[in-house]
């Protein structure tokens, strides 16, 4: 069933009141790819009465009062993306389109949506139930952070939103414990995976430089970020606190990772794979097209690209679903009347991390002094694509499935590292799981920039392309790589982009269309470098392109034709 969005639905179910009301900046798609839908279904499965209000109008109380006030708490999220990224380009231009709004027009999501929605609730419910923030916007803005759009350091969003508690990371376990304690009127401040506001800091927690200090001193900002980042692993992390005004942000240690069985159970709840009828009437939602018949195989990413926040939000540990769970979901999809035989994607943040993880990390936590994949893949990460090869073969044998695409990006360096099954895996996906193009993300060609990005060196993409072309030739296929590149990343100059242009022309031999200007988003090392203009590896000053026109010039070097090459 859908999570109720109207009073009529609530009455039809037989509920008199709601325990929890969820507010989201996306339209409501009931899918396991949509965080608010997952949280709602998990809570309903546990016996709570849950309703949802999507993209409420913040100019009046018509939407926010539609379901009344919840008995336990409000849950507020900006949606699947940070609202500032949803609303603005890297050049700070307003985005006109929104794939998660009916009609595709970007006219329903306010800036800093969790703040806007919390204010909306308090405006019309003076003595309201607790307000709980969650989702990626809240998660990545949970400590003092750099806000690119105003070029300033903002407080924890928990303070700016004037909410009661913040759930960070993937919050299924946390939200269940929080709901239970609020329902039983018990103190919830000891729950792992939350931030809360205290008058005095816990004596055994780590002290971060105060907000006032990090605003004035970039070295203090660096120290605060590094203490924050090194305390995100669920096995090794300690709690910490940060003074925000006269009060303290109390950041409890992370929640332990889900087990494989728990992940299976979450993805096998009864998702409708559709837009709720109340919102469908407002227009087509393009975001549904890619996720309706797609399957998540795992969560987490140990790639730790400097510009990516997945490590902070989903975690650096890859948690897999079982083969049997994924197969059951695929079989369920084949029974959908609208299914035409095509699975649009099977994967996670990185498709080919399925079934690959460091056993040392699962027991002792992520290493503090090195990364899993850069500058080289760690020997303790036993890379084998065997499990994914077997899974793909079993899925292809399911009656009713014609094609399974790998729509998620892959790590080409993982394939090259796997001496036993890497080339077999590459041949499998070239033969069965792409249609003309394979997505990879080399991001750049210059080793200095790649090192700053936390990406493998140029030799890796050259070797991978050679193998990709060889297998296609052996199979008699004409297929191509789709490569993603970033312009104006910290450290990147115009000269670096011209070198990238030459590399693309001479080595890759195609004209790329997927070139993004780097966007400084909260809680990433690249953003830390951007704001502080410092190379984090050596503490030396770093060139940062901050002029908007020059950023666009860097991008245009790649996507436009130039006479002198």
What are the tens digits of pLDDT across the range 40-90?
999 999 999 999 999 999 999 999 999 999 999 999 999 999 999 999 999
Domains of the chain, each with CATH number or no CATH: 7-192 (3.40.50.280), 293-432 (3.30.750.210), 436-565 (3.30.750.200)
pLDDT tens for residues 429-485? 999 999 888 989 999 999 999 999 999 999 999 999 999 999 999 999 999 998 999
Do residues 92 and 149 make contact, with C-beta atoms less than 8 angstroms apart? yes
Angle formed at CA 197 by CA 191 and CA 200, multiple of 5 degrees: 100
CA distance 451 to 178: 41
Report the 10 Å Cβ neighbour count for 394.
Answer: 14
Per-residue confidence (pLDDT) for residue 104, from 0 to 100: 95
- Per-residue pLDDT, 561: 57
Q: What pLDDT, on the 0 to 100 scale, is given for residue 482?
A: 87
Q: Which residue numbers belong to the known binding site for [4Fe-4S] cluster?
A: 301, 305, 308
Residue spans of the chain under pLDDT 70: 561-565
Predicted TM-score of the model (pTM): 0.95
Number of other residues whose CB lies within 10 A of the CB of residue 560: 10
Report d(CA 81, CA 109) in Å as an integer.
11
Query: For 333, how many CA atoms within 13 A lie in the half-sphere containing its CB?
Result: 34
3-state SS assignment for residue 20: strand
pLDDT of residue 407: 87
Phi, psi (deg, nearest 5) at residue 137: -60, -45
- pLDDT tens-digit map of 386-438: 999 999 999 999 999 999 999 888 999 999 999 999 999 999 999 999 988 89
Give the closest residue to 58 by CA, choosing from 136, 148, 122, 12: 122
CA dist list (Å): 213 to 198, 202, 222, 224, 256:
19, 20, 11, 10, 31
Q: Which residues pair with 73 in a beta bridge?
A: 20
Which residue bears the tokens 């920039």? Answer: 449
Residues making up the binding site: 301, 305, 308
Beta pairing partners, 29: 275
Asked whether the beta carbons of 160 and 115 are under 8 A apart, the reply is yes
Q: What is the pLDDT of residue 563?
A: 40
What is the DSSP-derived secondary structure letter of residue 260?
H
What CA–CA distance (Å, rounded) separates 548 from 565?
24
Centre a 10 Å sphere on the Cβ of residue 160 and count the other Cβ atoms it contains.
16
């Amino acid at each position: 069933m859908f999570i109720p969005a109207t009073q009529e639905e609530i009455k039809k179910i037989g509920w008199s009141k709601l325990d929890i009301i969820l507010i989201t900046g996306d339209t409501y798609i009931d899918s396991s790819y949509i965080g608010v839908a997952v949280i709602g279904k998990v809570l309903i499965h546990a016996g709570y009465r849950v309703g949802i209000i999507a993209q409420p109008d913040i100019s009046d109380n018509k939407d926010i009062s539609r379901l009344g006030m919840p008995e336990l708490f409000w849950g507020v999220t900006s949606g699947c993306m940070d609202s500032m990224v949803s609303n603005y380009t890297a050049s700070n231009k307003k985005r006109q389109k929104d794939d998660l709004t009916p009609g595709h027009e970007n006219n329903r999501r306010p800036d800093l949506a969790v703040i806007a929605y919390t204010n909306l609730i308090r405006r019309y419910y003076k003595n309201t139930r607790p307000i709980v923030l969650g989702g990626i916007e809240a998660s990545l803005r949970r400590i003092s952070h750099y806000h690119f759009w105003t070029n300033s350091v903002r407080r924890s969003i928990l303070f700016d939103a004037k909410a009661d508690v913040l759930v960070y990371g993937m919050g299924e376990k946390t939200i269940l414990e929080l709901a239970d304690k609020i329902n039983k009127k018990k103190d919830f401040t000891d729950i792992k995976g939350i931030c809360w506001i205290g008058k005095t800091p816990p004596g055994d927690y780590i002290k971060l430089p105060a907000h006032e200090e990090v605003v004035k001193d970039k070295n203090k900002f660096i120290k605060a970020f590094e203490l924050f980042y090194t305390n995100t692993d669920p096995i090794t992390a300690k709690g910490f606190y940060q003074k925000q005004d006269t009060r303290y942000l109390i950041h409890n240690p992370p929640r332990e990772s889900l087990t494989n069985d728990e992940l299976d159970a979450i993805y096998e709840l009864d998702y409708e794979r559709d837009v709720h009828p109340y919102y469908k009437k407002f227009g087509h939602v393009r975001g549904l097209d890619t996720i309706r018949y797609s399957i998540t195989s795992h969560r987490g990413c140990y790639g730790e690209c400097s510009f990516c926040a997945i490590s902070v939000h989903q975690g650096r540990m890859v948690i897999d679903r079982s083969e049997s769970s994924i197969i059951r979901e695929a079989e369920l999809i084949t029974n959908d009347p609208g299914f035409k035989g095509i699975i649009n994607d099977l994967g996670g943040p990185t498709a080919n991390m399925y079934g690959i993880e460091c056993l040392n990390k699962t027991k002792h936590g992520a290493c503090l002094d090195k990364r899993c994949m850069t500058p080289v893949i760690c020997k303790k990460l036993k890379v084998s694509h065997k499990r994914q090869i077997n899974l793909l073969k079993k899925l292809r044998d399911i009656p009713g499935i014609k094609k399974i695409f790998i729509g998620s990006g892959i790590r080409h360096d993982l394939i090259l590292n796997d001496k036993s099954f890497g080339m077999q895996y590459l041949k499998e996906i070239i033969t069965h799981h792409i249609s003309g193009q394979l997505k990879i993300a080399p991001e750049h060609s210059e080793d200095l920039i790649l090192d700053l990005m936390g990406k493998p060196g140029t030799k890796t993409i050259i070797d991978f392309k050679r193998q990709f072309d060889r297998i296609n030739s052996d199979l008699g296929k004409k297929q191509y790589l789709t490569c993603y590149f970033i312009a104006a990343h910290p450290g990147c100059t115009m000269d670096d982009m011209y070198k990238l242009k030459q590399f693309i022309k001479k080595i890759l031999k195609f004209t790329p269309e997927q070139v993004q200007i780097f966007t400084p988003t909260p809680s990433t090392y690249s953003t830390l470098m951007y704001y502080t203009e410092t190379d984090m590896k050596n503490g030396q000053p770093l060139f940062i392109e901050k002029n908007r026109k020059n950023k666009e010039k860097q991008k245009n070097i790649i996507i436009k034709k130039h006479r002198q090459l």
